[in-house]
Structure 1
Amino acid sequence: MNNNPIGIFDSGVGGLSVYQAVRKHLPKESCVYFADSAYAPYGKLPREELHKRCQHIADYFIERNVKAMVIACNTATALMADWLRAEYDLPIIALEPAIKPAASLTRSGHIGVFATENTLHSERYQRLVAQYARDTSIHQVACHGFVEQVEKGELDSPKTLALIKQYLQPLLEYKVDTLVLGCTHYPFLASSIKKVAGAASLKLLDTAEPVSLQLTRVLAKHDLFNEIALQNDQFVTSASPSEAQTIFTKLLNRPVKVQQG
């Protein structure tokens, strides 16, 4: 079982930011990455449909004997993590917006949160804010269009930069100095966000590194480390494999073969 792969999934290619962190911290492990791009963004998906998609992907992973599953999607975590953990008997690592570290890092007392609508409206997110950010001002934005731009590989196109400016400018006027990237797609826009922010002092926080480290701890706890360097990674999409291959290759900066899932 130790040689079995780790399953990682997201509504699309955004979770590749988590995959990259996993690859860095666990170089001997193999991964199966499932991009559910035909149904992206999850932030707009009805809860019943999201449930069906998460069940389909989890079953796909089980058929491939994954030893652990990473929910590399804030929306799926917020709405489906508890159900997945109750339904499937394997370690499941989820993520959540970095509200706690943002609250400790801000100097202005103003935190920005870029996330999907479903994440911002979820009970899990609201609990995080109530628990860790009571003494700070939260400026949250549902960034419609960000996921679609990353899915197309348009990380710094004029349209993408215009969208970023539209959502970021009001936060800068509120003196936001810490911005939580509450969707795994958004780290791929980090350079463009910093470009739009210009001289403004803005710290960007995402959860790829913490999730990867938590996965490492979980594998250690269950004695699931792979001691042989297999690295037989597989990439799967529910959309067009040929189109996905182009985007995966661009985001990972290396040739990638993508299968239909």
Structure 2
Amino acid sequence: MTHDTSAPVGVFDSGIGGLSVLRHIQQTLPNESLLYVADSGFAPYGDKPAALILERSIAVTEFLLSQQIKALVIACNTATAAAIAHLRLRYPELIIIGMEPGLKPAALLSQTQTVGVLATRSTLHSDKYQRLSVQLSTETGVNFMPQACIGLVDQIEKADIDSEQIRILLQRYLTPLLDANADTLVLGCTHYPLVTHLIREFVAQHLAGSRPVQLVDTGHAVALQLQRLLIQRGLDRKTAVPTAFTACASGSVERLRQACTQWLNVGPSNISAALVA
């Protein structure tokens, strides 16, 4: 593993969802070079078998290691649940950070003791999520209501985040949670923060201001953890230079370019998008 402070931080997701985490990393660590991989040729991960998600996670990690990364961020809740334990055993010297479901901060925020958890089926069925939800529910008395958002990632991947299809899906998945008195919603997939504005819009309409609802996005916490571990290892980049950003995809490169322009304010000229097998 490289010990070069100027080496990039590798970040990957099944598609464009991880850009929501990468935004936090850019803001928290403006000096770092970032290499993003969208494994869009195999997206979404949420409806794939765990064995395939692990296989793809290893393949993408091997590619990123060939680019001499100094740390790895798995910016995907589904891939974290399926692969992070294996990756940490396989690459013990590499800093590897994954996504947490955000149940603990949500439990602390909730006043109604009811928390809605929006996530993929794979994440909700994972041993990691099951253990954590049961443990925290026992400790805090909070009722965690899992809601698998089938089809939502597919629609967000199309990069039209104001589409009627997304609004219909959000109505379908948010209504039972809000009607059950949930006052806190966990965004348990990195794609979901990209449509936060639509979630807030629907919540405001459905509840007509009767009670506040808080959203939990753990992207900032991931960026802070990355910062802490880079400093701890002496790998943080201290020179104040513009962030170098490279994006690669195993699927549509043009769609990734559009997404980076839309959510990172990075023009196509700043993106070197190459196919990743």
- TM band (smaller chain): over 0.9
CA contact (8 A) 1:102 1:180 kept: yes
For structure 1, the residue ranges without an aligned partner over 5 or more in a row are none
Q: Distance in 1 between matches of 2:20 and 2:52?
A: 24
Q: Distance in 1 between matches of 2:175 and 2:33?
A: 41
User: In the alignment, what sits opposite 2:224?
Assistant: 213
CA contact (8 A) 1:100 1:133 kept: no
Q: Offset at 1:230?
A: 5.3
CA gap of 1:187–1:169, structure 2 versus 1, over 3 A, is: same
Q: Distance in 1 between matches of 2:183 and 2:33?
A: 38
Q: Offset at 1:245?
A: 1.2
Partner of residue 102 from structure 1, selected from 98, 102, 106: 106
User: What's the secondary structure of 1:29's corresponding residue?
Assistant: coil
**Identity of matched residues, %:** 40
For structure 2, the residue ranges without an aligned partner over 5 or more in a row are none
Give the aligned residue type for 2:125: H
User: What's the secondary structure of 1:28's corresponding residue?
Assistant: coil
User: What's the secondary structure of 2:72's corresponding residue?
Assistant: strand
Query: TM-score w.r.t. structure 1 length?
Result: 0.97
CA contact (8 A) 1:178 1:203 kept: yes
User: In the alignment, what sits opposite 1:253?
Assistant: 265
1:81-103 residue CA offsets vs partner (Å, 9 max, x unmatched): 00000101311011111000111
CA contact (8 A) 2:230 2:236 kept: yes
Q: Offset at 1:78?
A: 0.7
What pairs up with 1:35-50 in 2 under 5 angstroms? 35-50=38-53
CA contact (8 A) 1:150 1:185 kept: yes
Moved more, 47-56 or 160-169: 47-56
CA contact (8 A) 2:159 2:255 kept: no
CA contact (8 A) 1:153 1:251 kept: no
Give the aligned residue type for 1:244: L
Matched, 1:86 2:92: no
Q: Distance in 1 between matches of 2:242 and 2:261?
A: 21
Partner of residue 34 from structure 2, selected from 26, 31, 35: 31
Number of residue pairs matched?
261
Q: Distance in 1 between matches of 2:183 and 2:255?
A: 37
CA contact (8 A) 2:38 2:250 kept: yes
Q: Distance in 1 between matches of 2:73 and 2:179?
A: 36
User: In the alignment, what sits opposite 1:127?
Assistant: 131
Q: Offset at 1:251?
A: 2.3
Moved more, 178-187 or 138-147: 138-147
1:134-181 residue CA offsets vs partner (Å, 9 max, x unmatched): 211111111011111111112121111111001001111101000000
User: What's the secondary structure of 2:54's corresponding residue?
Assistant: helix
